[in-house]
Amino acid sequence: MSSGNGYKVIGTRPIRHDGVDKVTGRAVYGGDTRLPGLLYGQVLRSPHAHAHIKSIDTAKAVALPGVKAVLTGADLPEAGDTIVDLGEGPARLKYMSDNVLATDKVLYSGHPVAAVCATSVHIAEEALDLIEVEYEVLESVLNVREAMQEGAPQLHADMTTQEFGEDTGKTSNLATHFQHKLGDPDQAFASADVVIEREFQTATVHQGYIEPHNATAMWNSDGQITIWTSTQGSFTARAQTGAVLDVPVSKIKVVPQEIGGGFGGKIPIYLEPIAALLSKASGQPVKLIMTRPAVFESTGPTPGSYVKIKMGANKDGKIVAADAYIAFESGAYPGGLVGAAAMCVFSCYDIADGLIDCYDVVLNKPRSFAYRAPGSTQVAFATEHVVDLLAAELGIDPLEFRLKNSATTGTRRIDGVVYPKMGCKEVMEAIRDSDHYKSAAPSGSNQGRGISVGYWFNVGLQSACTASVNSDGTVSLTEGSTDIGGSRTSIAMQFAETLGLTAEDVKPQVVDTDSIGHTDVTGGSRVTYATGWAAYKAALDVQEQLCARAAQLWEIEADQVKFEDGTFSSGDKSYTFKELAGHLDETGGPVIGRATVNPDSGVGGSFAANIADVEVDPETGKVQVLRFTVIQDAGRAIHPSYVEGQMQGGSAQGIGWALNEEYYYSDNGHLDNSSYLDYRIPTCLDLPMIETIIVEVPNPGHPYGVRGVGEANIAPPPAAMANAIGNAVGVRPQELPMKPGRIVAALATGG
């Protein structure tokens, strides 16, 4: 099998190494953890969106037969006023701790206030009903612009607005304000022939992974804590748990179990410290699994947003100026996602002058966290809408207009950064060259086609790999990146390619925090890039050691041995990798390759694009996707099937975000739709086949040219859908979701 790209393994489609376990039900996910003497935990959550906790009385719960321990926020160590960066962006430890278990105040409906463990999950649940919490209910605020107003209910009495390293000393719900400015936007707008400005709103949406959060912990009497959990980053989970429990990381071992989806939402911790403290109190292992309503009410959604975009262009079709005002709902505690939005908002275009003004705002919703290209979708929805309007106003085809203004290698973004080699234009050209775009747009009544592009910058961070050569010529590869979507295989393939092995010759394994070097989260589209790079370097280490072993056997110097196409040779003597692996015992014993990376440069960003054909039922406002294509620059597709899978998955999530997904709060701040029944992620019947086109503009910063593909694909879909709806019925929605009632209302008023 060969991929036709000059590689033997990269670009092929082997069966994933963990596949059989996952289709037979044998793979052990976090919730499947079973231990002798296991107790079951449950968490009591606030019914109020905003309240002071006046008192908590747990006496009746403690007295219930079968209950082994009860916990409140008072049982967590006092969190100092320190800032910690534990792999999911900087945060105040106090905020992180209070989000695990509230102390003085609850800040959202679903905020944890107490926890119980018992001999059965049902007894634990009965015990929750016996905990008496007295609240003083406060007025809540649930919309970003209302939260920014003077006199809005204030969540944190001591929170002051930070302006790029400066504390303004002003208390409000505005956590952070920052700006990027390039050139002279005022003058550039004055020179523009056409200027279009629009306002946009997007609802809070959830990552929606099917597996609920879970954690099982055993706190041994010697102070050693073991935590079995589903996490995107075992080291990050360890660091966060250690910080909240005020325990050194060396006392904690995190065993990452298989993880049932994350999309950014399983980077933060929720249950881990609770499970640990309940175990400490009971002396037994404790397992907690979140209920589905709790997952929606209490775990990281992505921010709702208010965005205003102004763009100006010349008659010849060049965009000359762009302004963005971006306000993000960070939820109950400050977050860092609006920074990413700022980097993405005009990322697809070459614009010389612009201003990006950003606000991070707290309000009475769960603390928002990363969700696949966090922040990019909200702003792509806005920008791509205005780009279509500009093209229409200028009488230029929207794709031609995008191509004419495409950012490219060397373009300076408004946040100042200059692009290294990248594939924005290639992705746009792939729209033009696709079967889908070349086929006639659907021409039935209320049918239309829309396009859009989007970006995610990807990250590098730390990874480690070790590789033990087995005597039969296979290699056991250990790594610390938890595998959410087949990354074991994409890492093993890079290792195999480097040593001339087959993918099947490499046995990849995700191990616990005591068994591998620090490895950052499975997020930021970094695993195939950075852990793959570590695997590549570990393979080179193995290669070097094996050259020395061959040299020993041939009684020559190591530099006289060369390695090519999986064979070690010197003159007419040669060993295949497998042959040489059989001689390790006689040449000094085992060979273990190892490598770590923490790339300072070379992270290649990825662009994605969509073509969407839709039909709108004007009587009901319902939108059907008739045909959908996703295009993305993968740099180099290691395992094309899983690259396509990422692209299709991001598309489906983006379509859900576009059409129906939203947090629906009642006026008193209760989340009304905390179930899969009413939080409507797309079903099988809601989607067509999703066509994929992989563009490969190799990333010069990676040995195999990899760009992470996990995220950029969620940025363009809502915009493509809005543009398609606009072309179908003449009304281009400015608010997500574009749900049926909203479409009907817009059609009735003509906009």
CB of 333 to other proteins, least distance (A): 13
Question: Judged by CB under 8 A, which of 110, 312, 448, 682 binds other proteins?
Answer: 682
Q: Note whether 211 binds other proteins by CB under 8 A.
A: yes
Q: Is 711 a catalytic residue?
A: yes
Options 4-12, 19-27, 133-141, 444-452: segment touching other proteins (CB under 8 A): 19-27
Sole binder of other proteins in the list 207, 474, 513, 699 (CB under 8 A): 207
Runs of H (alpha helix) within 263-328:
272-282, 292-298
Give 157 or 418: the residue with its C-beta nearer to other proteins.
418
Tell me the two tokens of residue 32. Answer: 């499947």
Q: Which of 45, 105, 253, 372 binds other proteins (CB under 8 A)?
A: 372
Q: How far is the CB of 295 from other proteins (least distance, A)?
A: 9
Residues 403-442 that bind other proteins (CB under 8 A): 415-420
Torsion of CA 314, 381, 523, 695, to 10 degrees: -60
Counting Cβ atoms within 10 Å, is residue 25 exposed (0-12), middle (13-18) or buried (19+)? exposed
Residue 398 tokens read as 């929207």
Q: How many CB atoms lie within 10 A of CB 733?
A: 24
Q: Which stretch binds other proteins (CB under 8 A): 238-246, 371-379, 562-570, 726-734?
A: 371-379
CB 490 within 8 A of CB 639: yes
Query: Considering the complex, what minimum distance in angstroms separates the CB of residue 375 from other proteins?
Result: 9
Name which of 447 and 653 has its Cβ closer to other proteins: 653
Closer to other proteins by Cβ: residue 34 or 54: 34
Which window, 190-198, 220-228, 536-544, 675-683, contacts other proteins (CB under 8 A)? 675-683
Contact in structure between 726 and 664 (CB atoms under 8 Å):
no
- Residue 706 near residue 604 (C-beta atoms within 8 A): yes
What token pair was written down for 655?
A: 């379509």
How would you label 349-360 residue by residue, b for 16+ Cβ within 10 Å and e otherwise? bbbbbbbbbbbb
Closest separation in Å from C-beta 538 to other proteins: 20
Token pair belonging to 493: 């393939």
622 binds other proteins (CB under 8 A): yes
- 63-92 residues near other proteins, rule: CB under 8 A: 83-85, 88-90
Helices (H) and strands (E) in the chain, counts: 20, 32
Is residue 547 helix, strand or coil?
Answer: helix
CA dihedral 739, 743, 746, 747 (to 10 degrees): -170
Separation between Cα atoms, residue 516 and residue 492, nearest integer Å: 16
**Active-site hit among 166, 564, 711, 735:** 711
Contact 176, 162 (CB under 8 A): yes
| Min CB(660)–other proteins separation in Å | 5
And the tokens for 219? 């706190």
- Residues 562-621 touching other proteins, rule: CB under 8 A, are 598-603, 619-621
Question: What number of other Cβ atoms are within 10 A of residue 532's Cβ?
Answer: 32
* DSSP assigned state of 440: P
Q: Of 443 and 683, which has the nearer Cβ to other proteins?
A: 683
- For the CB of residue 41, give the shortest distance to other proteins in the complex, in Å: 14
Tokens 């919309």 -> residue: 143
Among 285, 485, 500, 566, the residue binding other proteins under the rule CB under 8 A is 485
From residue 435, alpha-carbon distances to 509, 629, 712 in Å are 40, 10, 22
Q: How far is the CB of 374 from other proteins (least distance, A)?
A: 5
Let me know the angle formed at the C-alpha of 97 by 92 and 98, rounded to the nearest 5 degrees. Answer: 100
Q: In angstroms, what is the minimal distance from the CB of 507 to other proteins?
A: 17
Nearer of residues 339 and 398 to other proteins, judged by Cβ: 339
User: CB-hemisphere CA count at 13 Å for 572?
Assistant: 0
489: tokens are 């295989």
C-beta of 562: minimal distance to other proteins in Å?
33
**Cβ–Cβ under 8 Å, residues 260 and 287:** no
The single residue among 209, 381, 455, 575 that binds other proteins, judged by CB under 8 A, is: 209
Binding of residue 689 to other proteins (CB under 8 A): yes
Select from 651, 699, 723, 727 the one that contacts other proteins (CB under 8 A).
651
Q: Which of residues 700-719 bind other proteins (CB under 8 A)?
A: 710-711
Segment contacting other proteins by CB under 8 A, of 131-139, 271-279, 308-316, 673-681 = 673-681
Size of the site for other proteins (CB under 8 A): 138
* Beta carbon of residue 548, minimum distance to other proteins (angstroms, whole number): 31
Using rule CB under 8 A, residue 55 touches other proteins = no
Footprint of other proteins on residues 93-152 (CB under 8 A)?
120-122, 125-126
The answer to whether 457 touches 343, Cβ cutoff 8 Å, is: yes
- Among residue numbers 504 through 523, which ones bind other proteins (CB under 8 A)? 521, 523
Q: Which of residues 451-480 bind other proteins (CB under 8 A)?
A: 459-462
- Binding of residue 160 to other proteins (CB under 8 A): no
- Paired tokens of 289: 């699994």
Rounded Cα distance, 521 and 231, in Å: 9
- Using CA atoms, how far apart are residues 523 and 89, in angstroms rounded to an integer? 12
User: For residues 253-272, which are near other proteins according to CB under 8 A?
Assistant: 258-264, 267
Q: Does 672 bind other proteins (CB under 8 A)?
A: yes
Q: Does 27 bind other proteins (CB under 8 A)?
A: yes
Site for other proteins in 287-306 (CB under 8 A): 289, 291-292
Output b/e per residue, 47-57; b: 16+ Cβ within 10 A.
bbbbbebeebe
Selected from 1, 2, 34, 220, the binder of other proteins by CB under 8 A is 34
Residue 337-366 contact track with other proteins, rule CB under 8 A, x = bound: xxxx-xx-----------x--x--------
Rank residues 112 and 375 by Cβ distance to other proteins and give the closer one. 375
524 binds other proteins (CB under 8 A): yes
Which residues are designated catalytic?
711
